[in-house]
Chains A and B, each alone.
Chain A
Amino acid sequence: MIDWKKILVPVAAVVILLLLWELLVWAMGWPDYKMASPSDLWPAFLRYQHLFWQYGWQTLWRTVVGLGVAVVFGTLLGMVMGLSKTMNDALYPLLVGFNAIPKATVVPVIALMFVGQHDFNTILMAFMISFFPIAVSVAIGLSTLEPEYRDILRSLGASRMTVFWKIALPKTLPEFFGALKVAVTLAFIGTNLVEIITPHGRGLGHLFQSAQTNSDFPLMFAVLIALAALGIMLYYAIVALERIFAGWAVRPGH
């Protein structure tokens, strides 16, 4: 059964926001180079529709691949840090330091290191920017496991691996998905950072860049909205996965 209220409420919110935006631009009398209005966006989108689909797909798949690598690497790193106190002490400052580096400054570095490898560079950046929350959440989830959970299985002679698979890993899933929701938007930022900064003619970031060069302001705004739409799509894909794998964490009535 489809719960129409659950769909209608957010859609209504979007419509109201667009109306207010339109109204604001109209009332202030802003020209479209200052602030495009929603009614300018649709024609801009229609004019370059084929580019939106083509570039949108490029941005999407590179983000998803980067995020996938981040999930694998972040989970492994989180496991190492969560299960070993020494590794946690050793890696935490490095990880925080790495995360604090503004990723925009890293773009030229990787662009020079892997010249011409545009897909690889973009995926690498999406990965680098998004694995941190995943690693941290898995590490915290594993290290804060109450000892009683371990003891019920350890007292039966279960191995550390068994305790991990049967208890620690599933128990960490809600935290993991929480982090994944943060990571998905970060991966998106990473992809666009590379697409905007390094000119190699791919992705929605590139479309934004060329719109800027041509002072096509409605197109710039249309790209931003398309990015937002892609972000929402990916986010809800994660929510769907969460329902399947960690649905038990959602209490009835919430």
Chain B
Amino acid sequence: MDNLIDIKGVTHAYKTKAGPFPVLRDLNISIPQHSFCAVVGPSGCGKSTLTRLIAGLMFPDQGEVWLHGELVKSPRKTVGMAFQNPVLLEWRTILQNVILPLEIVAPMMPKAQKEARARELLAMVGLEGFENKRPSELSGGMRQRASLCRALVHKPDIIILDEPFGALDAFTREDLWQTMHQLRAKEPFTALLITHDLRESVYLGDQVVVLSGRPATTQYVMRVDIPGPRPLEMLYEPDTVERLAVLRREIQIAQGRAVA
């Protein structure tokens, strides 16, 4: 099997007092190994549900989620997660925060080895010298960098990014986009990124999946065959502008504001 992740015909509904509340309907997404998939869609269309399904924290009513040729039936140690809120632990230093997943996944690994791995990642994202600071002493962008390191520290098969750059200011966000490309160049990983920012999806994604309004289904898939690390100037090239126009139109269709 070529794909690291295969989401096949996933349908899911939440049970509420008013009856089932469908969020996903016949959703299909495939992500090859070491490729970056960006998922965009109208707000409230079930994107976060998708992340929980891949992480094995929830199971679909119908359909299957395959990870590395295995059906996802429970949480597994090969997933890393980062959210809009960096959720760092205030009582730990940045270094100890990054180490956290290793304490669960590799409890027997010597402490020095864990720390060396965390330091290596922190250096890659430009947080060298901040290892012993508390999260509260860092800026929002730096905290998000630390949160990315924590998602990557145990070399997961896939990292799930649920709008990790959503709460950052525009300049910090562009900085972090570039950091993502640098990280991938040094240490290839497979990623699924949930986002509301079309420029972000085109700049980071090897494919951009547009979800329809709720219940979400795969409405449109765009390939972005530009090798990384991509320069920021890419955002202003005519090619990108054209891609963005296509995506914007797809989003309007998904929102029900335009007809296909």
Contacts and interface: CB of A to CB of B under 8 A. Distances in A.
Contacts of A158: 104
Nearest to B79: A155
Interface in B93-124: 100-101, 103-105
Contact of B74 (A152, A157, A248, A249): A157
A155 B55 contact: yes
Contacts of B100: 152-153, 166
A152 B101 contact: yes
- Of residues A148, A149, A162, A246, which shows the largest number of chain B Cβ atoms within 10 Å of its Cβ? A148
Given A151-B52, A156-B77, A166 B103 contact: yes
A156 B57 contact: no
A85 interface: no
Contacts of B197: none
A152 B134 contact: no
B87 A146 contact: yes
B214 interface: no
A67 B101 CA distance: 36
Contacts of B160: 155
B52 A157 contact: no
Given A151-B52, A156-B79, A156-B101, A251 B89 contact: no
Contact of B81 (A152, A167, A170, A252): A152
B91 interface: yes
A159 to B, nearest CB: 9
A167 B85 contact: no
Interface string A141-177: 0000010110111111110001000110011010000
Nearest to B85: A148
Interface of B: 52, 55-57, 74-77, 79, 81, 83, 85, 87, 89-91, 100-101, 103-105, 134, 136-137, 150, 154, 160
Given A157-B104, A248-B91, 11 more contacts: A146-B87, A148-B85, A149-B87, A152-B150, A154-B57, A156-B75, A158-B104, A167-B89, A246-B91, A249-B90, A251-B136
18 contacts: A146-B85, A148-B83, A149-B87, A151-B55, A152-B87, A153-B101, A153-B104, A154-B75, A155-B75, A155-B81, A155-B160, A157-B104, A162-B104, A166-B103, A167-B89, A170-B89, A251-B136, A252-B137
Interface of A: 146, 148-149, 151-158, 162, 166-167, 170-171, 173, 246, 248-249, 251-252
